[in-house]
């Protein structure tokens, strides 16, 4: 298996704060969010401009500015992973070259979305990106949002490329895909769960950790749960998962939101009092009722 230890077991895709007045990026608060995650030891690595960071709603200059601000704030205190995904491979490479120049430690690239390419196109996309950078590349599979699933056979081909070092899998309808990836790649590629609710299931299958938006709030508990499970304290890990499950469900809000980002941002603001609850349209912020609902959950687990 390729070495994942530099990046650790808990990777947090940090939220991107926006000003409530005009939805412009709040870079000052973004620096504070990154600092909070690092100082409170909520993660092993920080991902900038991931899905929870609403990368799809940032224009080119905003994403680059975000890369710059977070890197300037965190320097080399924890590994930084740049989310450089886009539909067009040329744009991904452009983002990636800038991230490499800024000193990022790796990139995360989501499967090309909307256009629904065949597997050969997915393979060509990632191959061209990897060949144009010396940075480690994390492949990101989230078929619920992209409309395409990276097949295990495609990952088996991709893992022959030296700097493709891991996959984040949010398989959705196929909870056993982590096993299929590990078998297809002959164990060469570390698999991270992309779904907080699936972390124990993925680790049971041979996964190594989680890319966790929820760890903005429950990063310490997430670490304890993973450590307990890996150390053989399975019953303790299971009990903690049952406690956290209510938190994970609360990120769906009161209307079973598909994208949990607005609820994660609202919860983070409740805990830190940093102005982070505004998402960028078309996502809408948590309602007053949802915030009250979230307060009850956070009080129940002792976060506020």
For 69-125, give the DSSP string: HHHHHHTTSS-EEEE---SSHHHHHHHHHHHHHHT-SEEEEEPP-SS---HHHHHHH
**For residue 233, what are its two tokens?**
């304290």
pLDDT digits (tens, 9 = 90+) for 181-196: 999 999 999 999 999 9
CA-angle at 20, arms to 18 and 24, nearest 5°: 40
Distance of alpha carbon 125 from the chain centroid: 20
172 pLDDT above the threshold of 80 = no
Measured distance CA(299)–CA(297) in Å, rounded: 5
Question: Which of 177, 178, 140 minimizes the C-alpha distance to 158?
Answer: 140
- Would you place residue 173 in the very low, low, confident or very high pLDDT band (cuts 50, 70, 90)? confident
Mean pLDDT value across residues 12-28: 98
CA-angle at 195, arms to 175 and 275, nearest 5°: 165
- Residues with a catalytic annotation lie at 140, 168
Measured distance CA(284)–CA(3) in Å, rounded: 39
Question: Which of 187, 226, 232 minimizes the C-alpha distance to 209?
Answer: 226
pLDDT digits (tens, 9 = 90+) for 226-279: 999 999 999 999 999 999 999 999 999 999 999 999 999 999 999 999 999 999
């Amino acid at each position: 298996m390729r070495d994942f230890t530099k990046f650790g077991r808990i990777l947090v895709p940090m939220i991107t704060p926006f000003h409530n007045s005009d939805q412009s990026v709040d870079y000052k608060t973004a620096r504070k969010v990154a600092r909070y995650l690092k100082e409170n030891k909520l993660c092993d690595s920080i991902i900038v401009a991931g899905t929870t960071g609403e990368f799809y709603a940032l224009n080119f200059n905003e994403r680059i500015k975000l890369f710059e601000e977070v890197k300037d704030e965190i320097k080399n205190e924890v590994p930084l992973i740049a989310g450089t995904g886009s539909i067009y491979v040329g744009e991904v490479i452009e983002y990636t070259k800038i991230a490499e120049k800024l000193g990022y430690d790796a990139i995360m690239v989501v499967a090309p979305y909307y256009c629904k390419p065949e597997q050969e196109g997915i393979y060509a996309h990632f191959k061209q990106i990897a060949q144009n950078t010396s940075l480690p590349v994390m492949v990101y599979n989230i078929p619920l949002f992209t409309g395409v699933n990276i097949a295990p056979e495609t990952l088996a081909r991709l893992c022959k490329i030296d700097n493709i070092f891991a996959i984040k899998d949010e398989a959705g309808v196929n909870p056993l895909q982590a096993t299929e990836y590990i078998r297809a790649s002959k164990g060469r590629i570390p698999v991270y769960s992309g779904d907080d609710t699936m972390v124990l299931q993925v680790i049971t299958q041979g996964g190594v950790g989680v890319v966790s938006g929820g760890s903005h709030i429950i990063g310490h508990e997430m670490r304890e749960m993973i450590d307990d499970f890996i150390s053989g304290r399975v019953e303790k890990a299971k009990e903690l998962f049952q406690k956290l499950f209510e938190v994970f469900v609360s990120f769906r809000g009161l209307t079973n939101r598909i994208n949990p980002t607005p609820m994660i941002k609202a919860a983070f603001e409740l805990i830190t009092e940093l102005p982070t609850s505004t998402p960028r349209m078309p996502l809408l912020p948590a309602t007053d009722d949802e915030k009250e609902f979230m307060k009850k959950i956070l009080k129940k687990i002792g976060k506020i």
